[in-house]
Amino acid sequence: MESFIGRRSELAVLEKQYERKSGFVVLYGRRRVGKTTLIKEFIKGKPALYFLASREAEALNIRRFAGDMADFVGQPALKEGNYTDWRPLFKAFADHEASERKVLVIDELPYLVKGNPAFPSVLQYAWGELLRDANVMLVICGSSVHMMRDVALSHDSPLYGRRTAQIRLKPMRFSEMASGFPEYGFSDLVDLFALTGGVPKYFEFFEPIDRFEECVKENVFSTSGFLYEEPRFLLDEDIRDPMNYLSILRAVSAGNRRQSDIAGMLGRKTGEMSPYLKTLAGLGFIERRVPFTEKYPERSKSGLYYICDTFVDFWFRYVQPFTGELEMGNMRPSLEAVERTFQSNFVPFVFETVSRQAFADLCAAGQIDFAPSRIGSYWNRRGSVEIDVGAVDNSSGRCFFGECKYREREPVSMGDFEVLRVKAESVPGPFDAPPLFGLFSRTGFSKELRAHAAGTSDVVLVNENEVVEG
């Protein structure tokens, strides 16, 4: 894997802020998602001071900051000062090479706030009085999504309105991840995406992918493995008592999609679930999906909940149910469960996400003549009709209906297209234009289906995320 992959749009945002007279960027996102790597890629070749806060008393963080500052500005005496205030150190940074553009990065800001709840006010003063007009770009970063929102983005924060840009860094899209593994085939890439969810830190634990079982045993199923307790660690970052949240994630992973079903599994009232679900969604663990045809998604009664972090979903399917056995060193039940369902059930579901992302990318690139206003999927209330990829173009009133087939051997056939067409006819309209149909495959398409698609503009075939021509 390349040392740095993807993140081109985020780098572009940071570079644009660097060109400003004064830029103040708030960068946040869950652990392992690559925030620090992005920052370090951005500051390469730039005059920059990177400071990583730690979980220790404020006096110790100030002392380390003074040491880093002394090295950056070339004033060894700063290391000898017994500082109790951050402001002289910020001033030293502002005064250093005042005509030269420079970057100050404070990583893991929430640790400083835990050590001193007044630190946002200190930073407000430092930015407004010392740094903003001193040719400085300030970047503050943190892994606690909840705290970063409160500290830097909330209306009640002293820092509110000071930022010039914010970036919530999310897991990589499939296409971004794939760019870092040019030697992998498409199926291997889908497997890797299914395991990692596009989280960069996880890539190293499943490479090379042809050692799949060994990598999973060593890093996930072993009680000493780096990822054995990962979901708990992730929740601990933002939630004081994660037990209820872990239970909800377990219920969703088990197939309980409706709020009432989740509550029923946990023996709770339906209304009690709302704040927990809202928190999990805000932290990026789950998402509420509604049929793409809904005009008012937030009011829809057809909402279903899904775990959107595929590693967390993997963990709840193959680790959590077998914790007792794994604690005894017995990996067999987990491995047998993986063998039974990973390729037949888990990966094909992830392939639907890959296909929705591919559809968006192909439309943006002009390879599919469609301008989606919303992309998702469709199901009816009874659950008798499901369509994997659905989209609507509000400007033309045209809909897209797509089916995903993640088969090992046989190509997608004309019969598969007919099934999709019949299902689409049951989707309530009215629509202002004839629909566009799409089929997504990893094994190609039959000659008959390719011939049919070549003779019409209403069918698009996508094989391994590439449009098939003729």
- The answer to whether the CB of 133 falls within 8 A of the CB of 93 is no
Report residue 199: phi and psi, to 5°: -85, 115
The CATH number given to 366-467 is 3.40.1350.10
SS (H, E, C) 242-308: CHHHHHHHHHHHCCCCCHHHHHHHHCCCHHHHHHHHHHHHHCCCEEEECCCCCCCHHHCCCCEEEEC
Tokens of 54: 């730690």
CA distance 139 to 46: 14
- The answer to whether the CB of 434 falls within 8 A of the CB of 422 is no
DSSP 213: H
Location of structure tokens 């008393």: 57
CA distance 220 to 229: 8
Task: Give the pLDDT score at 171.
Answer: 95
Tokens of 133: 């007009």
* Residue 1, pLDDT above cutoff 60: no
Q: C-alpha dihedral over 152, 156, 159, 165, to 10 degrees?
A: 50
Question: Are β-strands 165-168 and 23-28 bridged in parallel, bridged antiparallel, or unpaired?
Answer: parallel
Task: Give the pLDDT score at 383.
Answer: 76
The percent helix, strand, coil of the chain (3-state, each to 5) is 50, 15, 35
Mean pLDDT in residue range 156-181: 94
Determine which of 57-61, 295-299, 303-307, 458-462 has the lowest per-residue pLDDT on average.
295-299
Q: Across all residues in the chain, what is the average pLDDT?
A: 94
Task: Give the pLDDT score at 430.
Answer: 74
Report residue 317: phi and psi, to 5°: -85, -35
Q: Which of 104, 122, 103 is nearest to 58 (CA)?
A: 122
Q: Does residue 112 sit in helix, strand or coil?
A: helix
Measure the N-to-C terminal CA separation of the chain; round to a whole number of Å. Answer: 34
| Helices 274-282/259-266 angle, 10° precision | 110
Mean pLDDT in residue range 357-368: 97
C-alpha 136: how far from chain center:
30
CA distance 420 to 447: 18
Topology annotation, domain 8-168: Rossmann fold (3.40.50)
Task: Give the pLDDT score at 99.
Answer: 87
Tokens of 178: 């794939």
This prediction has a pTM of 0.91
Mean pLDDT in residue range 214-225: 96
Tokens of 389: 């990829």
* Residue 431, pLDDT above cutoff 90: no
Q: Domain spans of the chain?
A: 8-168, 175-344, 366-467
Cα torsion angle, 202, 208, 212, 215, sign? negative
Classify 175-344 by CATH class.
mainly alpha
- pLDDT > 70 fraction of the chain, expressed in percent and rounded: 99
Mean pLDDT in residue range 343-362: 96
Tokens of 191: 């497997």
| Cis amide prior to 430 (ω within 30 degrees) | yes
Task: Give the pLDDT score at 21.
Answer: 86
* Residue 165, pLDDT above cutoff 60: yes
Task: Give the pLDDT score at 381.
Answer: 81
Q: Which of 145, 141, 118, 102 is nearest to 58 (CA)?
A: 118
Confidence of residue 238 (pLDDT cuts 50, 70, 90): confident
- The answer to whether the CB of 420 falls within 8 A of the CB of 455 is no
Confidence of residue 295 (pLDDT cuts 50, 70, 90): confident
Question: Are β-strands 466-467 and 165-168 bridged in parallel, bridged antiparallel, or unpaired?
Answer: unpaired
Cβ-Cβ contacts under 8 Å for 140 (sequence gap 6 or more): 24, 25, 26, 27, 105, 106, 109, 123, 152
- The answer to whether the CB of 108 falls within 8 A of the CB of 31 is no
Task: Give the pLDDT score at 398.
Answer: 93
